[in-house]
């Protein structure tokens, strides 16, 4: 028997336009259309949400942890479950658990955990993001310099083999540690190659984009800046039409004026998307944790190593959206697209995630006028 539901009583934002007096339909957990409320077929069970806004579930392509778990410290399928569940309550219905630079053994275990999560169809799991170890020591950020290294042929083989089994694989690399031929091989294998943690020149970055790199990781942070004689990776990314850019919008990592500059360059192309870069603190009162044996402390929205270096973010996706809107950086609709439509477009999963279009998974968030989470639904079922 088909499970048919019609969600009524709330305004619906489909990613392009807003619908009032309409219903979001789901059939067996997938979106099947938006229709006027007086056109709902009697076969549908009506669920009245009593006001607020329905929007597509959020998609986060950089999540290091949550629920008290850091993926590096416990690269297991249980950790992935915990991380996905922790972010679910903040509207994220699909994410990439992210492994920060670590040993080959930890990387191997993370890939195995990702494959198991995929086989178990873990709610919220979308694939993996491997951020390192092939980065630049100069722009290491919180990554351990002892573990950063050049990519070898063996590394290349492991990544390509992993992609043959994983639906989605994103990697962050630095041109100093990965050459263009390797980027071309990775891209041809279907791996999304992002540039980050690098002091590369703009010309070298451009050649990496030409070779197959398609994005930059947390724009502005841990990368060569834009200056008047050397535009760096920031300049190259903003000037490259095909390059997507992830952005941490928490009031700590990037100044609002810098975000506005990026928006002016990327909004018309829909290529600036929000990421949380979240650590294990999300959904907990945890005040400190460890990464590669080093202590990271939580204090007033900042996560730092003992030397003051930022170490990921104490951020969930709905807070990033509220930051963008509350600081009048962009309007509500654009902020919602940056949290759902654009990351899905980048990853190539727009037909199933980050969308309310017919055929997509019935994953959506019910928000108040103040952009507070009222409820979260996955496959047409309330999960928070």
- Looking at the annotation, which residues are catalytic? 277
Gap between the Cα atoms of 271 and 243, Å rounded: 7
- Determine contact, residues 132/148, Cβ cutoff 8 Å: yes
Q: Which two tokens stand for residue 217?
A: 């990781």
Q: What is the DSSP string of 19-75?
A: ESSEEEEEETTEEEEEEEGGG--TTSEEEE--SSEEEEPEEEEEE-EETTEETTT--
DSSP type of residue 252: S
Which run of H or E residues covers position 106?
Answer: helix 104-119
CA nearest to 232, candidates 243, 241, 220: 220
171 neighbors 162 (Cβ within 8 angstroms): no
Rounded to whole angstroms, the Cα distance separating 52 from 203 reads: 47
- Displacement of CA 371 from its chain's centroid (Å): 19
Q: Among all chains, which residue has been given the structure tokens 């973010």?
A: 313
SS3 178: coil
For residue 322, give both structure tokens: 């509220």
Give the strands of the sheet with 45-48, arranged side by side: 30-36, 22-27, 4-8, 45-48
Nearest to 37 by CA among 19, 52, 55: 19
């Amino acid at each position: 028997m088909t499970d048919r539901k019609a969600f009524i009583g709330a305004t619906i934002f489909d990613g392009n336009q807003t619908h009032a007096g309409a219903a979001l339909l789901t059939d067996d957990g997938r979106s099947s259309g938006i229709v006027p409320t007086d056109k709902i077929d009697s076969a549908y069970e009506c669920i009245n949400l009593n006001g607020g806004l329905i929007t597509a579930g959020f998609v986060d392509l950089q999540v290091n942890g949550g629920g008290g778990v850091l993926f590096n410290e416990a690269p297991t399928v249980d950790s992935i479950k915990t991380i996905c569940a922790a972010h679910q309550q903040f509207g994220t219905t699909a994410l990439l658990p992210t492994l920060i630079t670590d040993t080959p053994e930890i990387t191997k275990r993370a890939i195995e955990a990702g494959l198991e999560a995929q086989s178990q169809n873990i709610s919220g799991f979308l694939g993996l993001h491997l951020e390192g170890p092939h980065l630049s020591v100069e722009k290491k950020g919180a990554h351990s310099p002892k573990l950063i290294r050049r990519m070898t042929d063996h590394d290349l083989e492991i990544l390509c083999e992993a992609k043959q089994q994983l639906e989605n694989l994103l990697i962050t690399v630095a041109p100093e540690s990965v050459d263009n031929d390797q980027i071309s091989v990775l891209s041809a294998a279907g791996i999304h190659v992002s540039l980050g943690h690098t002091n590369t020149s703009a010309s070298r970055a451009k050649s990496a984009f030409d070779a197959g790199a398609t994005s930059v990781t947390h724009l502005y942070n841990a990368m060569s800046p834009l200056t008047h004689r050397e535009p760096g990776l920031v300049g190259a990314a903003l000037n490259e039409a095909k390059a997507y850019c992830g952005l941490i919008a928490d009031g700590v990592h990037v100044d609002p004026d810098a975000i506005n500059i990026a928006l002016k360059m990327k909004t018309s192309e829909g290529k600036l998307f929000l990421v949380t870069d979240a650590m294990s603190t999300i959904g907990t009162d945890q005040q400190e944790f460890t990464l590669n044996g080093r202590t990271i402390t939580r204090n007033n929205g900042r996560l730092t190593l003992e030397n003051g270096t930022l170490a990921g973010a104490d951020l969930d996706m709905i807070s990033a959206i509220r930051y963008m809107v509350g600081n009048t950086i962009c309007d509500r609709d654009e902020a919602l697209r940056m949290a759902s439509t654009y990351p899905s477009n980048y990853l190539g999963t727009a037909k199933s995630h980050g969308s309310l279009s017919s055929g997509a998974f019935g994953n959506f968030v019910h928000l108040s006028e103040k952009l507070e989470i009222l409820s979260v639904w996955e496959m047409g079922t309330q999960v928070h």
